Chain A
């Protein structure tokens, strides 16, 4: 398939999944606020921190208030990761590959877009918590329609790859919210209010019910184990990487002789580590540090996928090195492609406590 088309389908799925997860971020906080005892200060800054938008946000605002943060994450068209921006970008990508995806998929994306645009016009996000559930459902519908109407061919695998990588990244960030949430005092660790925060967090990953069935007792270790290492929960990091790896293998094609591509190596190594790492090891280095490193390495996987399949081969490399070099793009070709599709990867900013893993496409 065309590299450009693969790229668009990959990003179409990432953006839909991203919109869904931003809705989840917002929900976790809304849940928490409603459960907080009266008198406990509202915390909105953690949300901005965890989506990786702190710099962008504080360039415009001095303080994170409920209203500003909700607008910033939901309907702000200047905010690159707002739900509105994500859905618009998803639709632009879908529009450029309409002839490849099924009509049903296009209609679903278009309906999602119209729904969010309409809500943005109405602009009563603060009162319409229901909106965030609708966003989640629209994303589920898209995934379902794609599975049921698109052949499970290379296009589908690229979509799957994008969705799973995005979901793994966002589950890590949802788990990281807790790191930024302050308890009223250090003595509160393990108290009902601490537990409430963990429950809210599970709920925002649609993980609460499934968690209760496997881990039962709410504990930091239990939640981390479930969201990172569970093999069966479809939003756990390990699960997502397993699916992403499968998709990548299908795309690359299996042959005994050929050596794995750089993206396969990067993703395979990351997945293998999750296979064997223990919870103790994660907590020894600190959960936040673990999640931070994970997000960075996941970005590298994304970069490798771009280099392996999307970056345009030049005529020169094509002629001199023959077929094997198709996937090795010259610097110039990569830059050209990057400036055209504007897939940008923002790496960690020095001194910043978290990875700015926001990959975006205008």
Chain B
């Protein structure tokens, strides 16, 4: 019996049958030929038995489940939590690639921060004719109450989670900027913990950049925002509450940084300050790391029906008696039309050329471009300028004639509301599906912390999301996506 068991166990996983296909593969250059950075990983995986690998995958999943590393799915009255599926094959990024990405991301966030400070104040970029005023004012994230704001240390955007993708040639592109409250960094940290326990020897043999510094970097950036009068700054994380889809991350980050997690109902504006309700009475709050959207922050200035925010918060912010990260108003840069102007912003504010390119973007507002879009709907991706998370878009190559007609109508009636981009053939990589390795599309979301005391910190790697459905290009967790650990390797 024992012997029989051994025989079963000794069958190993092989990449011989893995077909990278006609895509850029993150781990292989051709069938059976791993990239130099991935060679050791592939060798290690091939030395493992099927049982062992499946056990590791299962153990990782169980660990995440036991830890309660879950996200919530809306519209499900019970059992609202799901584990974000985890794939055991890590993504590898070479350190030379990473250096370029890191520099490119820092450049981008610096320019975007200049842009935000400018458009809510002097609007020089408008006066100099780079971006039309109408484009800015019609962006859904542009908040007039933020005009004239001077956030502490001139920083608007403290935390960014930029979405990057690669095309068939392996060229990196920025897909979205996500300047409001990007989520996912907790998975970067938890996935790494799980991988370390699954493949301890690989971490000894490969020079993999550590990711655990993130909470410390973030806490430093938050503390330095506190008003000068605060001796021991009270920093809190403002969450919409336990029913929010990213609640696990909110509590995880609060715990890792040792700060208090509050909900809107815990806060009150009193005597010109934001205070929280404690068992010993009201206590002043100095810095708010907010994880609720701009619109919901203060019902007296933004959405009046918001139950999540704090009435009067904005006025305290204006008076400099509380700091908010990210500052209200940053959402304007998430507008997909504003996104298209980032190359110009980099040139205008930094006098540099963009390091990581944007995906080429067609403006439906422009008559010529619109007619090009309308006659090529079958090959383009159309996106609503104010949507994110894979919603409100048309993937031409996977759409029906009827859907295309619907989008054509939408574009014609609201040209400001839509942009179009060529369909990128996202890179793929091996993923453990039904006991074999199959190619699946991936993207990457690195996290950037923009503090004042040093240049922006980019957490090495980021969250690799993988579309688990065959052929799917949509990696969002709400739509069948999973995640992988991401290794930046010195080689």
Is A340 interfacial (CB-CB < 8 Å)?
A: yes
A residues near B350, Cβ cutoff 8 Å: none
A residues near B39, Cβ cutoff 8 Å: none
Compute how far the CA of A154 lies from the CA of B278 in the bound complex, rounded to whole angstroms.
Answer: 11
Name which of B251, B254, B266, B271 has the most chain A CB atoms within 10 A of its CB.
B251
Question: Which of the 9-residue segments A92-100, A165-173, A224-232 touches chain B?
Answer: A92-100
Closest Cβ of chain A to B239, distance in Å, is 10
**Contacts A2-B276, A3-B279, A312-B277 given; does A99 touch B266 at CB 8 Å:** no
Compute how far the CA of A110 lies from the CA of B69 in the bound complex, rounded to whole angstroms.
Answer: 11
Contacting residue for B282 out of A92, A98, A326, CB 8 A = A326
Contacting residue for B68 out of A3, A106, A310, CB 8 A = A106
A residues near B255, Cβ cutoff 8 Å: 98-99, 103
User: Are B262 and A2 within 8 A (Cβ)?
Assistant: yes
Name the residue on A nearest B268 (C-beta).
A315
User: Are B67 and A107 within 8 A (Cβ)?
Assistant: yes
Is A319 interfacial (CB-CB < 8 Å)?
A: yes
User: Are A315 and B276 within 8 A (Cβ)?
Assistant: no
Name the residue on B nearest A102 (C-beta).
B255
User: Are B277 and A313 within 8 A (Cβ)?
Assistant: yes
**Contacts A3-B278, A3-B279, A110-B68 given; does A95 touch B261 at CB 8 Å:** no
**Contacts A95-B68, A111-B66 given; does A319 touch B251 at CB 8 Å:** no
Contacting residue for B279 out of A1, A95, A96, A98, CB 8 A = A1
Is B252 interfacial (CB-CB < 8 Å)?
A: yes
Q: Would you give the 0/1 interface string for B244-267, flagging 1 where the beta carbon is closer than 8 Å to chain A?
A: 000110011011000011110110
Compute how far the CA of A158 lies from the CA of B265 in the bound complex, rounded to whole angstroms.
Answer: 20
A residues near B200, Cβ cutoff 8 Å: none
Closest Cβ of chain A to B141, distance in Å, is 29
Closest Cβ of chain A to B290, distance in Å, is 16
Closest Cβ of chain B to A124, distance in Å, is 22
Q: Would you give the 0/1 interface string for A100-124, flagging 1 where the beta carbon is closer than 8 Å to chain B?
A: 1001001100110000000000000
Name the residue on B nearest A107 (C-beta).
B66
The count of chain B contact residues (Cβ–Cβ below 8 Å) is 28
B residues near A326, Cβ cutoff 8 Å: 280-282
User: Are B242 and A2 within 8 A (Cβ)?
Assistant: no
Closest Cβ of chain A to B462, distance in Å, is 23
Chain B 374-426 interface residues, beta-carbon cutoff 8 Å to A: none
Compute how far the CA of A253 lies from the CA of B67 in the bound complex, rounded to whole angstroms.
Answer: 35
User: Are A340 and B252 within 8 A (Cβ)?
Assistant: no
Q: Would you give the 0/1 interface string for A210-248, flagging 1 where the beta carbon is closer than 8 Å to chain B?
A: 000000000000000000000000000000000000000
Chain A interface bracket (under 10, 10 to 19, 20 to 34, 35 or more): 20 to 34
Name the residue on A nearest B68 (C-beta).
A110
Closest Cβ of chain B to A47, distance in Å, is 27
Is B151 interfacial (CB-CB < 8 Å)?
A: no
User: Are A3 and B66 within 8 A (Cβ)?
Assistant: no
User: Are A251 and B66 within 8 A (Cβ)?
Assistant: no
Chain B 444-482 interface residues, beta-carbon cutoff 8 Å to A: none
Is B270 interfacial (CB-CB < 8 Å)?
A: yes
User: Are A99 and B254 within 8 A (Cβ)?
Assistant: yes
Contacting residue for B278 out of A1, A107, A340, CB 8 A = A1
What 6 new A-B contacts, CB under 8 Å, besides A2-B260, A99-B252, A99-B254?
A: A3-B277, A6-B279, A96-B242, A253-B280, A312-B268, A326-B280
Residue numbers of B with Cβ under 8 A of A are 66-68, 241-242, 247-248, 251-252, 254-255, 260-263, 265-266, 268-271, 276-282
Q: List 30 A-B contacts (CB under 8 A).
A: A1-B279, A2-B260, A2-B262, A2-B266, A2-B278, A3-B277, A3-B278, A4-B266, A4-B277, A95-B242, A98-B68, A98-B252, A98-B255, A99-B252, A99-B254, A99-B255, A107-B68, A158-B279, A310-B279, A312-B265, A312-B268, A312-B277, A313-B277, A313-B282, A315-B268, A315-B270, A318-B282, A319-B271, A326-B280, A326-B282
Residue numbers of A with Cβ under 8 A of B are 1-4, 6, 92, 95-96, 98-100, 103, 106-107, 110-111, 154, 158, 251, 253, 309-310, 312-313, 315, 318-319, 323, 326-327, 340
